[in-house]
Structure 1
Amino acid sequence: MKIAFVGKGGSGKTTLASLFLRHLAAESPAPALLALDADINQHLAAALGAPDGLPLPTLGAHLALIKDYLRGDNPRVLSAADMVKTTPPGRGSRLVRVDEDNPVYDACVRVVEGVRLAVTGPFAESDLGVACYHSKVGAVELLLNHMVDGPGEYCVVDMTAGADSFASGLFTRFDVTFLVCEPTVRSVGVYRQYLDYARDFGVRVAVVGNKISDDEDLAFLRERVGDDLLTWVGRSAHVRATERGEVRPIDDLEPRNRDALRAMRSLVDGVDKDWPRYQRQAVEFHLRNAAAWASDRAGRDLAEQVDPDYVPGPVLIG
């Protein structure tokens, strides 16, 4: 399953993503698990317990490798340079699993406190005024387009805050999107904006309330979010310690908050994969990008990269 964490800046989405990842990693047996930090503020490694200054390779710095590997011998993609963030897989493309050995993972994935993690890379000073952060996130979109996850496999992505993910088709790449929502008007506003954008694409959004102090907080969210409210996390000494840089064992998390993580996994595990729709949406956004800018940049019609009637899925790579 592919899972996104989104929400207003400061809502606690990175913290909840890290708790969910650590919860999954502590299960017995531990599932296949991959974390991707696609937030412009790269804090997921620290939230997982990485020491300050831990060097992590970035997906953005290895984009050429990622394109070359995923392209494989797909005859519709003439070169790795021709690949853009929305290029969909086709016959001859290399597909990846959540947990496997391949050159991309060797270069970009590192284990942080038992969780396999890759990061897009921060928005550097050299990018100011000349680059868009979505050029870095494009590596994540390419990977997810070519990822064929099966039962018991989880790819968890910490997304950039607010509605920035709608700048590409990345928001359609997930089986479940957890929208982390505080009991505030601004946080609920981001929820409504996200829902408005996602409604026409069949995006499955589940709201996880965060920083719930009392029954009034909970009533506020229930009134404004309704049935989209899956579960909630209360004020937590465990979480406050994490935010101070002290990552405690996940088994020390308050029982009610641990139950919230179990409810989240239960929802994810109950989702049926729809590979034909997944490919249709990849193709739709690729054609939009080809018409808007990508074909002009490449000097040829990148709509030709679409392989008609091709549908990826775990069966294709055994």
Structure 2
Amino acid sequence: MKISFVGKGGSGKTTLAALFARHLAATTAPLLAIDADINQHLAAALGATEHEAVLLPALGDQLGEIKEYLRGDNPRISSAAAMVKTTPPGRGSRLLRVDGANPLYDSLVREIGGIRLAVTGPFATEDLGVACYHSKVGAVELLLNHLVDGVGEYVVVDMTAGADSFASGLFTRFDTTFLVCEPTLRSIGVYRQYVGHAREYGVRVRVVGNKVDDASDVEFLTEHVGDDLLTWIGRSSYVKAAERGVPQPITALEPANRNALDLMRATVDATAKDWAAYTRQAVEFHLRNATAWANDRVGEDLAGQVDPEFVLGPTAVDLADHA
């Protein structure tokens, strides 16, 4: 299952993404975590030192290599340079699994706190005025468009804050979206904005309350988000200690908060996988981007990259493995 964490900046979405990833990792479930936020803090939340975080290889810096590998020998893609962030896979493309070795994981994924992590990389000083952060996040969209996750396998992505997620089709690349919401009007405003866009595309959004002190906070969230409220995380001495540089085993998390993580996992596991719909959405956003800007930038009609007989999923992986 592919899972995203979204919400208002400062709501604690990175903290919850890290908690959920550590919760999954404690069960030895196959797992890949990705930091797709413009503020790159997931590595630190997973226990990396500042020095370790700075040394992590950046997906955004290796976009050419990512395209070249994923392209494989797909005859519909004329070159790696002709690939854009929305280019969907087809017959001949190289597909990724959550586990297993491949050159991209070898060069771009590192283990932090027992969790395999890839990061887009920060928005650097040299990018100011000349680059868009979403060009870096495009590497994540390409990876997810080519990644087949099996039963009991998880990809956890910490997304950029607020409505920035809608700058591409990346927000549709997930089976479950957890929107982290504080019991404040500003956080509720981001929830309403996000849900208003996401539901047009059938994106499943479940709200996880955060920084909840008492029953009045739960009542406030329930009043404003209704049945979308799945669970909540209370104020946590465990989280406070981690943010002060004193990490503890995930088993030390407060029982009520562990129960919330259990419910989140059960919700993810109960979600039905629809590979045909997933593929259709990828194609839809690719054609939209092709018309809007990509055809002019690349200099060819990128609608031709769509393989109408291809559906991403386990069958596609099996065929690719035996090609």
C-alpha separation in 1, matches of 2:9 and 2:298: 35
C-alpha separation in 1, matches of 2:81 and 2:94: 16
C-alpha separation in 1, matches of 2:277 and 2:194: 20
Counterpart of 1:297 in structure 2: which amino acid? Answer: R
- Matched-pair identity in %: 72
Moved >4 Å (runs of 4+): none
Aligned counterpart, 2:257: 257
C-alpha separation in 1, matches of 2:245 and 2:134: 28
Pairing 1:35–2:33 present? yes
Counterpart of 2:229 in structure 1: which amino acid? Answer: L
Deviations along 1:41-89, whole A, 9 cap, x unmatched?
0000000001121110010111111100100000010000000000001
C-alpha separation in 1, matches of 2:242 and 2:17: 12
Q: Is the contact between residue 73 and residue 93 of structure 1 (CA under 8 Å) also seen in structure 2? A: yes
C-alpha separation in 2, matches of 1:216 and 1:82: 54
C-alpha separation in 2, matches of 1:289 and 1:166: 13
Counterpart of 2:270 in structure 1: which amino acid? Answer: G
Deviations along 1:233-289, whole A, 9 cap, x unmatched?
001101111222222111100000000000000000011110010000000000011
Paired positions, count: 316
Deviation at 1:309, TM superposition (A): 2.7
Matches within 5 A, 1:216-231: 216-231=216-231
C-alpha separation in 1, matches of 2:239 and 2:196: 31
C-alpha separation in 2, matches of 1:245 and 1:192: 34
C-alpha separation in 1, matches of 2:244 and 2:128: 29
Deviations along 1:16-58, whole A, 9 cap, x unmatched?
000000001111xx11100000000000000000112111001
Aligned counterpart, 2:49: 51
C-alpha separation in 1, matches of 2:213 and 2:139: 38
C-alpha separation in 2, matches of 1:191 and 1:66: 33
Pairing 1:24–2:13 present? no
Deviation at 1:316, TM superposition (A): 2.0
Matches within 5 A, 1:153-168: 153-168=153-168
Aligned counterpart, 1:287: 287
Deviation at 1:314, TM superposition (A): 1.4
Pairing 1:2–2:2 present? yes
| TM-score, reference length from structure 2 | 0.97
C-alpha separation in 2, matches of 1:309 and 1:194: 33
Deviation at 1:317, TM superposition (A): 1.8
Counterpart of 2:115 in structure 1: which amino acid? Answer: V
Counterpart of 1:245 in structure 2: which amino acid? Answer: G
Pairing 1:95–2:95 present? yes
Aligned counterpart, 2:128: 128
Q: Which runs of 5+ in 1 are unaligned?
A: none
Aligned counterpart, 1:300: 300
Counterpart of 1:119 in structure 2: which amino acid? Answer: V
Matches within 5 A, 1:43-122: 43-54=41-52, 55-122=55-122
C-alpha separation in 1, matches of 2:312 and 2:22: 29
Counterpart of 1:46 in structure 2: which amino acid? Answer: A
Q: Which runs of 5+ in 2 are unaligned?
A: 319-323
C-alpha separation in 2, matches of 1:188 and 1:215: 17
Aligned counterpart, 2:321: none
Deviation at 1:181, TM superposition (A): 0.2
Counterpart of 1:310 in structure 2: which amino acid? Answer: F
